[in-house]
Amino acid sequence: MDNWAYLIARYFINLTIIIGVAITQIDSVDIPLIILTLIFVINTQFRYFQIRDRFVPNFISILVDFLLGYFTYTNYGGIILPYFLIGIIDSFFLLKGASKYILVSLGTGIFLYAGLDLAFEVLFSYIVAIIFLAFISSIIVREQKSKLKVEDLYNELRKSEDELIKANEELKAYADSIKELYVLKERNRISREIHDSVGHSLSTIIIQLGAIEKIAKENGQAASQMAANLRDFTRKGLEEIRKALKELKPKEFKEYETILSLENLIKDFSKLTGIDVKLTFTKSKWNLDEKSSLVLYRAVQEFLSNSAKHGKATKINIYIHYDDELIVTLKDNGIGTDEIKPGMGLTSLAERIKEIGGSLSYESKRNNGFFMRIVLKSGGLYE
């Protein structure tokens, strides 16, 4: 971060040095003095704009400033203080730790040695100015570092907040998906159990009533008629139960068949490997045809296998997005690779997806996991 007061002070001091040199050159032009001044100014500018973050070059550059100031003043005169001010200021702003105090002390010593011919009052006032300037520079640097530290902390908090919000959204989407699947599975289970138990019992009743009807014909027409009526009544009851079961079974269940098969695959995979796998999907869904559903199942199976075997992953995220196209994204946190060499599994998978009019893409970087994206056109879906 640039401190504008610091920059302005540097430019002002350089301008003062140039004006001082110009004043000394009114009567005659001294080329060596002009060259020394240019070297001094270039050195200060190069130090700030090119090597400001490098300790050793900065230390040497500031020391060169002090030596140039000493040589210029002792040979050509002028105003002594500006030659040393930039070096002292830069010591506090560009150096760290004890090195800045060592260099400031060294610069002050060179300054005193160069100004031995000055009156004591003048030299003393210069020393006071240097001490005051060093004190102010130290305070400014401390405040600037505190400000940078606060900004870094604020940025970290913002980043943590964004990550927390994203994680919360992912968790909410995952919870909604799990809840929806659980409800559908439970409704389907109840429907199946009722069909298996009640339906079987009623079917048995119908068979038994048929037998009663035959036996009753030998013993009386009335009994036969009662059995026939009871059988008709039971048959109607069974039809009503079947109708109710059909209505109870969710119409959307077919749309979830692929997702349920993937959930079972993921559940078994997590139990065997201990890898955390999260499956999330959008609310709108389509029913995949049998071929597309199988291809998608194999794709997820291949990705899970590669993540565990080659990627050494501990976490996998799978997201299914239903829109004009079916987009499936899979991402793990494995070791990754900078060069992907498709094996038999990926090659075969790409061919299968291409056969049903879809596309497959993937990418990976070392230490950044593996990413796969599958896009299926609407032709592989039941509208």
Say yes or no: 296 and 358 in one domain.
Answer: yes
Distance, in Å, from the CA atom of 328 to the CA atom of 322, rounded to the nearest integer, reads 9
- Phi, psi at residue 64, to the nearest 5°? -60, -40
Say what the pLDDT of residue 208 is: 67
The structure tokens 């010593």 sit at 109
Q: Among 206, 226, 248, give the residue marking a domain's end.
A: 248
pTM over 0.85: no
Say yes or no: 54 and 72 in one domain.
Answer: yes
For the chain (length 383 residues), average pLDDT per consecutive 10?
A: 66 75 64 79 81 83 85 78 81 81 85 82 81 78 77 84 82 73 72 67 69 67 67 72 65 66 89 91 75 89 91 92 87 91 86 90 92 79 44
Cβ atoms of 55 and 96 closer than 8 Å:
yes
Cβ atoms of 87 and 107 closer than 8 Å:
yes
Say yes or no: 315 and 275 in one domain.
Answer: yes
Examine residue 60 and state whether it is found in any structural domain, yes or no.
Answer: yes
Say what the pLDDT of residue 245 is: 65
Say yes or no: 243 and 265 in one domain.
Answer: no
Examine residue 172 and state whether it is found in any structural domain, yes or no.
Answer: no
- Phi, psi at residue 219, to the nearest 5°? -110, -5
Say what the pLDDT of residue 219 is: 64
Token code pair at residue 153: 């902390």
Q: Among 89, 118, 147, give the residue marking a domain's end.
A: 118
Structural domain span for residue 63: 4-118
Say yes or no: 229 and 215 in one domain.
Answer: yes
State the first-to-last Cα distance of the chain, in angstroms, to the nearest integer.
Answer: 59
Q: State how many domains the chain has.
A: 3
Say yes or no: 216 and 266 in one domain.
Answer: no
Identify the CA nearest to 18 among candidates 75, 78, 98.
Answer: 78
**Dihedral, CA of residue 42, residue 43, residue 48 and residue 51, to nearest 10:** 120
Say yes or no: 113 and 234 in one domain.
Answer: no
Say yes or no: 238 and 280 in one domain.
Answer: no
Please list the residues that pair with 364 across neighbouring strands.
370
Q: Among 216, 248, 280, give the residue marking a domain's end.
A: 248
Helix 55-76 and helix 80-94, axial crossing angle in degrees, nearest 10:
170
Say yes or no: 243 and 197 in one domain.
Answer: yes
Say yes or no: 261 and 227 in one domain.
Answer: no
